[in-house]
Amino acid sequence: MDGNILNIENNPGTVHIKDIPVLDYHLFVTEVDRLMTSGSSHCLTYFVVPGNDVYHFICFIADDTCGKILVLSHKQRPGSGLVLEPVTAKHFQFHIFEREIYEEYKINFSGHPWLKPLRYPYTGADKHQSIADYPFFRIDGDELHEVGVGPIHAGIIEPGYFRFICNGEKVLHLEIQLGYQHRGLEQLLTWKDSILRKTVLSENIAGDTAVGHALCHVQLVESLTGISVSRNLQTERIIGLELERIACHIGDTAALCADIAYQFGQAVNEALRTIVINTLQQWCGSRFGKGLLRTGGSHFPLTSAISELLQSRLKEVEERYVQMAERLFSMPSVLSRFESTGKVTARQAELLGAVGMAARSSGLKRDIRWSHPFQGYSEFKYEPVVLREGDVWARAMLRKNEVEKSIGIIRQLLPEIPGKDTVELPKYDIHLIPDTVAISATEGWRGEIVHVVVTGEEGKIIRYKVIDPSLHNWMALAIAMRNGEISDFPLCNKSYNLSYCGHDL
Amino acid sequence: MREFKIYRKHGRQYIRDLRKAVVAVPFHGRPVISGDITREEAERVAFICPGKAIQASTFNLDLGKCEFCMECAFMLPGKITFTNDHRMATNSREKLILSSGTNEPIHLDHEKIRKEIRSYFHHALKLRQVSAGGDNSAEMELNACGNVNFDMGRYGIEFVASPRHADGLVITGPVTENMADALKICYEAVPDPKIVILAGTPAISGGMYLSNPSINRSFLDKIHIDLYVPGNPPHPLTFINGILDLIGR
C-alpha cells in the first residue's frame, strides 16, 4: 500500500514506533474511511499513547481477506478543549474507542452520538465524575416506564447496570453501564514488574478466558524478545485454547437451558463441562487453565498419559453432548424460546464491529484463527462456523457446532504430540525490544482478543492495551433487546455471555 | 424416551461424600514447605513470586496472597510442594500464613467461631454473593458448588437472589472503588446475625491489585470476616468444606 498506512504481515507482529505513519487528522479520517469501506475490515483497537507534549493516536485495522494488520496514526497536542471530528460518524464501530479516549484524555469528539463515560477508571480525565451519576438516555412519554437492574444481579455473576426503557413489556431501548469491575489492569501491566507477574495478571483479565488472554500476552512478549517456541509447544497451546472453548461453550449451553427452565439439559451439560475442566486440571492443576501459558515454554508438558486421557474424555463428552444437543434443538418448547429471540442482523453486527461468536452467529465470517492465524493455526486451514440467523438459536447452535469442531481439532493434533515428559522451560529473564509497538491477537471462546504493547527507552513498557471481545459486543446485546420483551433479557444475556471484567479491565 | 437414553449415559454424577472427596493431582492445593530452605533460596522465590506472598526473612508463604501459580515449587522442587489437599478454608487470617518445616492441615479456630453461627445456621445457610472486581473464575466455581456434581444444596446451603433472604455474604474480587458503595449497601441489607466469607485470593488480600488506586478495601476493615477461602479461584470442595466446618456439620 502507500506511505499513509503500514502493513503488519504477521500475528503477532512488531513495528518500530518511528515507522508508523503519522498523518494529518483529516487525512487520517479519510484513510480510515477508505480502509473500512473497502471490504471486510474491522478495527482491532484505536488508542492513545500519551507523551509529555504529544498524544500519539494509533489505530490498528484488521483486513480479514489478506490476513494483514494495517496501522496508521495521528498526533495531537494535549490540552483542554481539543475537539476532533469523530470517525464514529462514518463508522459506528469506532464509538467504543473514541468513548474510551474521551474518558481517559478529555478529548471531545463533537457529534459523537454516545460520548459518555465508559468504565470510570481511576485514571479518568474528569475526577468529578462518579459511577453513581451515569447520564442515561431518557425518553419522555406518558406510556413509558424505566426498569433498572444492577449493579448486583440475582445470580452469581459480575456486576453491571442495565436500564430498560419500555412500553408495556416491549423494550424500546436498553442501556448498559459498566465500570464496576475496573481494577486498573492496563495500568498494572505497565508497572515495572517481572514478566511472570504480567503473565499471571493476564490470566486474571477475565478468569473464564485465562488461556485466551494469557496466550495473547505470551505471544506478544515472545514477539518482542525474539523468542521462538517449538512447533510442539504451539500445538499444546492450541489444545489448551480449544479445551477452554469447549468447556465454556458447554457451560453456556447449560446456562441457556437453565434460562428456559429446561433443567434436564442444564444438569447434563453442567456435568459435561465438569468433565472437560477436570481434565484441564489434570493437565495443568487448574480447572481454568491458569498456569498453563508461560513465556518461552511451559511447566506442563502434554504427556502421553494426559494425551490418552484427553482422547477418551473427549470421546465421551462429544458423544453425550451431541446426543443432548440433538434433543435440545428438536424440542418445540425450546425452539419457540430460541428462534427469533434477540435478533441481530449481519448489517447491525457489521456496524457494531461485533467479533467472535457475536459476529459469526449473525452471518459475519470473522475469526482470527482463520483470518490472522497464530501459533500453529495456519497449518490446518481453519474454516470458521458461520450462521446467518442472528438470534438466540444461532448463538446456541454456533456453540454446538464449535464444540464439535474444537474436539475435531484436538483429535487431529493429539497424535502429533510426542507425549514426552519434558518441554522447553519458561523464560523469565527477558528484555523487550525498545521503541517498538507490538500487536497480538488470538481467538478466545468469546472472540477476538487483542493485546498491544508500546515500549520506550530500554524496553520499558509505556502503554499496554487490552481488548476483550466483550468491549465490542456489549452493544450487540443492547441492540438484540430492542423491540423484544423484557422477559427475554436473561436469555439474550446468556446467549452472549459477555465479560464484565474483560470490558472494565 | 430420548431423554431416558441420555439419562442413562449421564448416570450418577454427584460426589457421594464431599467431606472425603479427593481432587486429582496435580492440583494447586495446600503447599508443604520443607524446613531446610536456605536464605538464598528463600530470597530467590520471594523475588519471583507474582503475588508477593512469600516473605524471605522469616520464611513464610501467605495463602491469602498466593496466586497458586506454583512457580516457587518449580524453582525449588522437593522443598516447596503443592499438595492436592483442598481443605484450606479457615476463619483465622494467621492460619493462612504457612511457615517452613510444617505440614499441618489447615483447620478452623474453634474459639473464634461466633456462637450464633452454629445456633442459627447449623441446619441451613442462605448466602448472597457479590463480585467486587472478581475475574469470573471464582464466581464460576461458586456456581459450580450448586451444580449436579457438588450439589451443596444437599446440606441446605444455597445462594439466593436477594440479600433480604440471605444469612450471609460471599465476596469475590479485590473490592474495586466502583463497587465499594454497592457492596456496603448489600451488606447492610442482609439481616443480622450475618456471616461474611471472602472467597479467593483477590478478596482475602487484594491480591495483585492491592497497591492500585482502583481498589478500595476500607469497608472490609470495618466488618468481621467469618471465613477465608483461599484459591485462585477457590475449588468448590474448598468452599463447601470450609462452610461445613464453620456451621459445625
Q: What is the pLDDT of residues A379-422, one digit of tens each?
A: 878 899 999 999 999 999 999 999 999 999 999 999 888 877 77
Q: Which residues of chain B have pLDDT under 50?
A: none
CA separation for the pair A154, A11 (Å, rounded): 40
Residues of chain B with Cβ-Cβ distance to A504 below 8 Å are 178
Specify whether the CB–CB gap between B108 and B81 falls below 8 A. Answer: no
Residues of chain B with Cβ-Cβ distance to A120 below 8 Å are 178
Task: Mark yes or no for CB contact B48/A271 under 8 Å.
Answer: no
Would you state the torsion angle of the CA atoms of residues B183, B165, A258, A277, taken in this order, to the nearest 10 degrees?
60
Query: CB within 8 A of B16, min separation 6: which ones?
Result: none
Q: Is this model's pTM higher than 0.90 or not?
A: yes
Q: Which triple of cell numbers denotes residue A194? A: 517481572
pLDDT band at A447 (very low <50, low <70, confident <90, very high): very high
Mean pLDDT of chain A: 92
In a domain, B74, yes or no: no
Task: Mark yes or no for CB contact B6/A196 under 8 Å.
Answer: no
3-state helix, strand, coil in chain A (%, to 5): 45, 15, 35
pLDDT of res. A417: 84
Which B-chain residues 60-119 have CB contacts (< 8 A) with chain A? Answer: 67-71, 74, 82
Mean pLDDT of A224-232: 90
pLDDT of res. A39: 67
pLDDT band at A334 (very low <50, low <70, confident <90, very high): very high
Distance from the B148 Cα atom to the nearest Cα atom in chain A, whole angstroms: 6
Task: Mark yes or no for CB contact A284/B26 under 8 Å.
Answer: yes
pLDDT in tens, A2-19: 688 888 888 899 999 999
pLDDT in tens, A336-366: 999 999 999 999 999 999 999 999 999 999 9
Task: Answer whether B28 touches A (CB < 8 Å).
Answer: yes
In a domain, B191, yes or no: yes
CA separation for the pair A85, A112 (Å, rounded): 8
pLDDT of res. B1: 65
Q: CA-nearest residue of chain B to A267?
A: B148
Q: CA-nearest residue of chain A to B129?
A: A156
Instruction: Nearest by CB to A158, from B9, B139, B235: name it.
Output: B139
DSSP A457: G
pLDDT band at A96 (very low <50, low <70, confident <90, very high): very high
pLDDT(A191) > 80: yes
Instruction: Nearest by CB to B212, from A120, A180, A188: name it.
Output: A188
pLDDT band at A130 (very low <50, low <70, confident <90, very high): confident
CATH of the domain at B209: 3.40.50.12280
List the beta bridge partners of residue A14: A438
Mean pLDDT of A244-267: 94
Using the structure block, give the residue that is written with the C-alpha cell 452493544.
A475
In a domain, B115, yes or no: yes
Instruction: Nearest by CB to B27, from A156, A157, A281: name it.
Output: A281
Read off the amino acid at residue A97: F
CATH architecture of A6-118: 2-Layer Sandwich (3.30)
ipTM of the complex: 0.93
Task: Mark yes or no for CB contact A156/B6 under 8 Å.
Answer: no
**B86, B126, B178: best mutation site toward chain A, by most A Cβ within 10 Å?**
B178
In a domain, B36, yes or no: no
pLDDT in tens, A131-158: 888 999 888 888 899 999 989 988 899 9
Residue A287 class from Cβ within 10 Å (0-12 exposed, 13-18 middle, 19+ buried)? Answer: buried
Domain that holds residue B120: 110-247
**CATH code of domain A185-504:** 1.10.645.10
Q: Give the CA count within 13 Å in the CB-facing half-sphere of B68.
A: 32
Distance from the B12 Cα atom to the nearest Cα atom in chain A, whole angstroms: 10
In a domain, B8, yes or no: no
In a domain, B225, yes or no: yes
Residues of chain A with Cβ-Cβ distance to B232 below 8 Å are 204, 290
Spans of all domains in chain A = 6-118, 185-504
Would you state the torsion angle of the CA atoms of residues A52, A8, A240, A492, taken in this order, to the nearest 10 degrees?
80
C-alpha distances in angstroms, A193 versus A202, A380, B126, B127, B186?
Answer: 13, 37, 41, 38, 35
Give ∠ CA B186-B129-B117 in degrees, rounded to 5. 85
pLDDT of res. B24: 87
| Count of other CB atoms within 10 angstroms of residue B153 | 12
**Total number of domains in chain B:** 1
Residues of chain B with Cβ-Cβ distance to A182 below 8 Å are 133, 176-178, 214
In a domain, B171, yes or no: yes
List the beta bridge partners of residue B54: B61
Question: How many A-B residue pairs are in contact by the CB < 8 A criterion?
Answer: 185
